[in-house]
Amino acid sequence: MKALKNSPKFLTGLIIITCLIVLALMEPYINDYRLKGHSPTEIGLYDIFLEPSWEHPLGTDSYGRDVLALLLNGLKYSLFIGFTAGGLATIIAVFLASLAGYKGGKIEAFITVLSNSILIIPSWPILAIIVLFVKKIDLFTLSVILAFFSWAGPSRQIKPQISSLKARPYVDLARVNNFSDLEIMFKEILPNFLPYILVGFSVAVTGSIMAETALRIVGLGPGDIPSLGQVINWAIYSGAMAIGQYLVILIPITFLILIFVSLNLINVGMDEILNPKLKQITGM
């Protein structure tokens, strides 16, 4: 842990993502104050296509909405979906990886084929079709569907660790002392690979947000949840590009990239510390 403090990559990532999360948490207060109680998505609240000004730092869009308010609101939803889906995916991954690593044999082989299939096969079209044909899709359903497609990534991080931990003597010791399989899993193994779970988690969050944004940009998914992807979709379909309203698209893109980059920096930083060979690698 002390080592983490000395990793500039980890720290940079942590600071950026913390800022974004704080911004998302404060969104209701900021927007409430700025929009005087109106919803950020309320149509026709202001004149359309206002230039950036003190009152509207990023101007307004083609529906007369304050762009800054939309962005903060979008950030909140994107992060929320990402963390929910990512969390669910991590739980699935930990469960399946433990099962595979611990039981071995046929079960392990099956889970490996399954997670490899999800990794190898282009899953986004499948996701898109599902979302298209599901009648009513809400925030939670969407997260569950996303989680279902993003557990393979974290599983790949976690599984080798479980397999290697299983081989360590204290697990045998625990077995001699007649702990149940479940107890061994939770008492002995889990604490040891918490860092790997965290790495897996941020991989899953990234994957979920990426997939969600891609869905929303093309106009799929719950229209009443204005995440960043939806904001971009609105901008594209209102012709923001053609009339030179680049900021409306560029800023949500920047937010998204910041999320992805910061999570990855955290991962790289952790990796370097967890994996002594990698630590040698960077030498910085």
Partner 1 sequence: MKEPLIEIRDLRVYFRTIYGDARSTDGVSLKIFENEVFGIAGESGCGKSTLVEGVLRLMKPPGYIKSGEVIYKGKNLFELTEEEFNKIRWKEIAYIPQGSMNSLNPVLKVEEQMIDAILSHTDTSKEEAKQIALEALDSVGLPEDVINMYPHELSGGMRQRVCIAMSTCLKPKIIFGDEPVTALDVVMQKLNLQTIMHLKEKIGLTVVMVAHDMAWHAEVCDRMAIMYAGKVVETGPVEEIFLNPLHPYTEGLLNAVPSLKRKFAKSIPGIAPSPLNWPPGCRFHPRCYRKMNICENEEPELKLIDSERYVACHLYNGGNWK
Partner 2 sequence: MKQLVKYFLKRVLLYFLIFVISLSAFFFFINLVPGDPVTRYVQQLEQRYGISTPLTEEIVRKYKEAFGLDKDLFTRYILYIRRLVFEFDFGPSFVAFPKPAYSLIVDALPWSIGLLGTAVLTSWILGIFIGTVIGWKRESKVSNFVLICGLVASQIPSYLLALILVMVFSFGLGLFPMGGAYSAALKPGFSFSFISSLIYHAFLPSMSLILIYVFGVMISQRALVINLLGEDFLKLAEAKGLDKKRLIKRYILRNTLLPQATGLAMSLGFIVNGFFLIEWIFNYPGIGRLFMMAIREMDYNVLMGITVTTMFCVLTANLIIEFLYPLIDPRIRRG
Residues near partner 2 (CB under 8 A): 9, 113-114, 116-117, 119-126, 128-130, 132-135, 206, 210-211, 213-214, 217-218, 220, 232, 236, 241-242, 244, 246, 249-250, 253, 256-257, 260-261, 264-265, 268, 277-278, 280-281, 283-284
Query: What letter would DSSP give residue 52?
Result: P
Map residues 2-41 to x or -, x wherever contact with partner 1 holds by CB under 8 A.
-x--x-----------------------------------
Nearer to partner 1, 4 or 130 (CB): 4
Nearer to partner 1, 86 or 269 (CB): 269
Asked if residue 119 binds partner 1 (CB under 8 A), the reply is no
Q: Residue 260 binds what, of partner 1, partner 2, none (CB under 5 to 8 Å, by partner type)?
A: partner 2
Q: What single string gives the DSSP state of each residue in 62-116?
A: TTS-BHHHHHHHHHHHHHHHHHHHHHHHHHHHHHHHHHHHHH-HHHHHHHHHHHH
Report the C-alpha dihedral over residues 76, 81, 86, 87, rounded to 10 degrees.
90
Q: Residue 111 binds what, of partner 2, partner 1, none (CB under 5 to 8 Å, by partner type)?
A: none
Q: How far is the CB of 125 from partner 2 (least distance, A)?
A: 5
Other Cβ atoms closer than 10 A to 199 = 25
Q: Residue 3 binds what, of partner 1, partner 2, none (CB under 5 to 8 Å, by partner type)?
A: partner 1
**How wide is the angle at C-alpha 209 spanned by C-alphas 271 and 278, nearest 5°?**
10
- Residue 146 vs residues 37, 39, 45, 65, 90: alpha-carbon distances, Å: 32, 27, 33, 29, 12
**Positions in the binding site for partner 1 (CB under 8 A):** 3, 6, 279-280, 283
